[in-house]
Amino acid sequence: MIDRLFRFRRRNRAKARPKAAGHGWNLPRLNVARFAPAVLAVAGLTAAGFGIVKALDRPLTTVVVNGPFQRVAALDVERAVRENLRGGFLTANLATLQKAVEKLPWADHARVQRHWPDGLYVQVTEQVAAARWGDTALVNTRGEIFAVDARHIPEELPRLDGPEGSQARVAELYFQLYPRLLESGLRATALTQDARGAWQLELSNGVLVRFGRRQLNERVDRFLRAGTAVLATRGSEISALDMRYSNGFSVSWRAAGAPTAQVTPAVTEQNMVKEPDNDV
């Protein structure tokens, strides 16, 4: 009897025990009616926006080109714009049009703007050629090559040349020499680096300056400090300067009977190296 009563109480206690909460979860209920006005308002504004864009996105019919043109033709600019034009007044991609114009051989920078109600305004800045590169290309004032395979190369520009990939270094040295030469009344007509890496400068008076392959910075500095001084006073008598010495340079004279390789010290005659270093 006691045992039966104990089991009865245990069953009742188990029944009274609360059920364990389930592990699942339910999404919160949304009151659609509450948010419906806001959704409809957003949809209405979006539709109105698309309608306005469609109404204002007129076909582009006018291209106005402006710039102090000497090498770039306005017709070429307009043609580049029209060939790359996609969309209307509002949807045309101005960045794409700008890149298309800047691909023209002599175009440096371009700015494309919308001109109400159905036009584009294009401002073009031309490249400024500082030198030639080889026979068919040009170098701008930043040392960048442009107008590759150009048909008309200004002959008065100095000629730069070198192995593939040397364009930036050759242009850098030329721009380093240019103002210093002007201070001495000199002008470069050519600066080249050959396939072996040897450098040579040609001046407008016909003088050749050989720097060789090694110690370029030191030799250029020696030329600017001492070589230009010699050229300023006796340039018409000199045919070449050879800077391939450790502490001096040699002079080749034009006059008949004069020494053809007279060594001229850059700083002092003491401990002068009589022969060029092994750089020939």
pLDDT tens, residue by residue, 158-182:
999 999 989 999 999 999 999 999 9
Q: Is residue 48 part of a domain?
A: no
Same domain, 106 and 154: no
Nearest one of 211, 227, 212 to 267, comparing CA atoms: 227
Same domain, 253 and 145: yes
Same domain, 69 and 188: no
Q: Is residue 1 part of a domain?
A: no
Q: How far apart are CA 113 and CA 120, in angstroms?
A: 6
* CATH code of 104's domain: 3.10.20.310
pLDDT tens digits along 60-99: 999 999 988 888 999 999 999 999 999 999 899 999 999 9
Q: Is residue 134 part of a domain?
A: yes
* CATH code of 212's domain: 3.40.50.11690
Same domain, 187 and 206: yes
- Write down the pTM of the prediction: 0.68
Range of the domain at 205: 129-265
Q: Is residue 188 part of a domain?
A: yes
Same domain, 88 and 205: no
Same domain, 108 and 221: no
| DSSP-derived pairing of the beta strands 248-253 and 262-265 | antiparallel
CA 263-170-151 angle, 5° bins = 120
pLDDT of residue 68: 86
Cβ neighbour number for residue 278 with a 10 Å cutoff? 9
Q: Which residues of 11-39 are buried (b: 16+ CB within 10 A; e: fewer)?
A: eeeeeeeeeeeeeeeeeeeeeeeeeeeee
pLDDT score of 273 more than 60: no
Residue 229 phi, psi (nearest 5):
-65, -40
Share of the chain above pLDDT 70, in %: 71
Same domain, 105 and 194: no
pLDDT of residue 155: 83
pLDDT tens digits along 207-250: 999 999 999 999 999 999 999 999 988 989 999 999 999 889 99
User: In the listed set 84, 100, 126, which residue is the last one of a domain according to the structure?
Assistant: 126
Q: How far apart are CA 247 and CA 261, in angstroms?
A: 16
Q: Is residue 36 part of a domain?
A: no
Same domain, 152 and 256: yes
Into how many domains does the chain fold?
2
User: In the listed set 126, 157, 177, which residue is the last one of a domain according to the structure?
Assistant: 126
Residues 6+ away with beta carbon under 8 Å from 62: 115, 118, 119, 120
Average pLDDT of the chain, as a whole number: 81
Residues 6+ away with beta carbon under 8 Å from 87: 57, 93
Cβ neighbour number for residue 151 with a 10 Å cutoff? 7
